[in-house]
Structure 1
Amino acid sequence: MTYRSTKWLILIIPTITIGVWEYIRHTLLLPYLSMEAGNALAPVIVLAVTVTLVRKLFAVLEETRQALERERIGSASLREREQLARELHDGLSQSLFLLSVKLDLLDRADLPENAKRTSEQIRSTVKHIYEDVRQLIDNLRTPVACQDDSLLQSVGRLAAELEESGAMQVELDIEMEGGLLSSKEKVELLAIIREAMFNAQKHAQAERLAVSCRHDAVNGGFVCSVTDNGSGVRPQQMHAAGRYGIRMMRERAEAMGWTFRIESPASVPGENGGNAGTRVEIAARRRTT
């Protein structure tokens, strides 16, 4: 039922109720019911219909209005993300690319050895910044592209992107009902999963990655995890000043009321960093006991 049709029903039901009552009274009940009694019953019948049927329509109208408002806010947010991604691409991303080209020209010049080393360090920094900007643009644009896809399809595209680049092997184990997540929850969860996947590639140098998402029937929510076989994460790295990825994932999860946890043997004091691996877990609990 649409918002407009619900409003019209609320308006015409009392009128239809009076019309039906008057017709029944004059055609069937007139020999048995006096005019005064019929007039007295009319507002009672309208009130009864209003309390039962029209009140339910008001509840439907309010739910529809709230859904439309959420959709409007979500659409505005997605448009802002797309605009920000476009500005980053047209501005900062292209400026970094131009700077890289100028560094190429500088490398061809006859420079002292220390200047060449400095140039190479600048090139490395520019490359990392450029990759971060490109990843940020992808993070901003991906939710727009995944609105009509299932979580499996959206994560599958991320996995294919990593595998096609030859970075790592990705295993997916996603079994979640289509209606379990709202549009906003899906966008936020996908952003966290994406960040965890690309962190495993970029910082942990992982070769294998497993993404698991399952419905938690006991708590009425879900549990998602991203597990890699990389170098692991140490405590000082989790809280370091430059680690915006971990902070972003944690803040996104907390804003949605989810729990966020990172587990790694490298984060345990006295453990060897080695190929410790890292497990990022996001869980939602919707049922209280």
Structure 2
Amino acid sequence: MRKNDRTIKWLILLTPTITIGLWEYIRHAFLLPYMSMELGNFLAPFIVLAVTLTLVLGLFRRLEESQGELQAEKTTTASLEERERLARELHDGIAQSLFLLAVKLDQLDRATADETVRRLAGQLRETVRDVNDDVRQAIANLRQPPSAAEAAWVVPLRELLGETAGIIEAQADFRWGIPDGSLTNKEKVELHACLREALLNVRKHARAKRVIVIGELDDEGGFRCAVEDDGAGFAGDPLAAEGRFGLRMVRDRAQRMGWSFRAERRDGWTIIELRQRGRREA
């Protein structure tokens, strides 16, 4: 248990006792000439209740937040340990086997005078070198902390962007910098649904050559998420156009979450944007 959590728990336990003690001291030292014993006894539980509602509930919230942070730290630590284990297995297994294979190919090259065999050994050596480079890059990636764009709920968005770009033969650009822990589970679900619908809208209508998905924090502690494309776009209000039910659903979802929604055409680009200005209290 962390020291801060232990302090909070002691405060929760001691607050009612301290409250009663202070009340009794104040009553006997200052209020006794003006207040009967019966009235003082009658008011005591209500005073304790009032202090509990104002102070102890706040301490409980802080304790819950601290426990949530501790659980997130444990999850992150477990994830990093698993990544390190996989990196170690790759290094001790596949990487060393590839090195041994390269040595054997060198021995084969030196042991034969057949030009065809030597040429084949050289080609195999190049292939082994490429695979070895890929494995070492994978090991390096595993030993780095996962980025915001590698969060489990973000990966399907990146994959959907790739699928969309592949279908319409466009260039995809995924720019995601929102830390996983800065969003609640409900925000993740709603953002995923909104951005997915915006990407499907690009797939069906845009005929774009470039599609960008953006997720970033702003200076106020809120976030901005957008799907941008350089396709055909729209004229007038896209929410008023027939058949644009998807964008209306995105707008309605955003409004329910308290986010701003914007759909506009600017400098040859269509921008569907969701923005939260500042953060709500947890």
TM-score of the aligned structures, taking structure 1 as reference length: 0.52
CA distance in 2: counterparts of 1:97 and 1:19, whole angstroms: 75
CA distance in 1: counterparts of 2:98 and 2:180, whole angstroms: 37
Do 1:96 and 1:126's aligned partners in 2 also have CA atoms closer than 8 Å?
yes
Distance 1:8 1:128, change over 3 A: same
CA distance in 1: counterparts of 2:47 and 2:182, whole angstroms: 44
CA distance in 1: counterparts of 2:124 and 2:182, whole angstroms: 39
**1:18 alignment counterpart:** 20
Question: What's the CA shift string for 1:153-195, capped at 9, x where partnerless?
Answer: xxxxxxxxxxxxxxxxxxxxxxx9xxx746899xxxxxxxxxx
Q: Aligned residues, how many? A: 174
Distance 1:184 1:32, change over 3 A: closer
Do 2:12 and 2:56's aligned partners in 1 also have CA atoms closer than 8 Å?
yes
Q: Tell me, which stretches of 5 or more residues in structure 1 are unaligned?
A: 147-175, 186-212, 224-283
CA shift, 1:113, in A, is 3.2
Correspondence 1:220 to 2:209 = no
TM-score of the aligned structures, taking structure 2 as reference length: 0.53
Question: What's the CA shift string for 1:19-53, capped at 9, x where partnerless?
Answer: 00011111211121111111110010000001111
Do 1:82 and 1:140's aligned partners in 2 also have CA atoms closer than 8 Å?
yes
Q: Tell me, which stretches of 5 or more residues in structure 2 are unaligned?
A: 148-176, 184-214, 227-272, 278-282
Which one of the candidate residues 52, 55, 69 is aligned to 2:54?
A: 52
**1:121 alignment counterpart:** 123
Which one of the candidate residues 2, 7, 10 is aligned to 2:9?
A: 7
CA shift, 1:117, in A, is 3.0
Paired residues for 1:1-289 under 5 Å = 2-143=4-145, 181=179, 216=218, 220-221=223-224, 287=276
CA shift, 1:88, in A, is 1.1
1:2 partner SS: helix
Do 1:216 and 1:222's aligned partners in 2 also have CA atoms closer than 8 Å?
no
CA distance in 1: counterparts of 2:218 and 2:225, whole angstroms: 5
Question: What's the CA shift string for 1:190-231, capped at 9, x where partnerless?
Answer: xxxxxxxxxxxxxxxxxxxxxxx98545972489xxxxxxxx
Distance 1:215 1:11, change over 3 A: closer
CA distance in 1: counterparts of 2:27 and 2:79, whole angstroms: 56
Do 1:215 and 1:221's aligned partners in 2 also have CA atoms closer than 8 Å?
yes
Question: What's the CA shift string for 1:83-122, capped at 9, x where partnerless?
Answer: 2111211111111101101100011122533323322222
Amino acid of the structure 2 residue aligned with 1:135 = Q
Amino acid of the structure 2 residue aligned with 1:132 = D
CA distance in 2: counterparts of 1:116 and 1:222, whole angstroms: 55
1:33 partner SS: coil
**CA-atom RMSD, angstroms?**
3.7
CA distance in 1: counterparts of 2:218 and 2:74, whole angstroms: 30
CA distance in 1: counterparts of 2:123 and 2:276, whole angstroms: 52
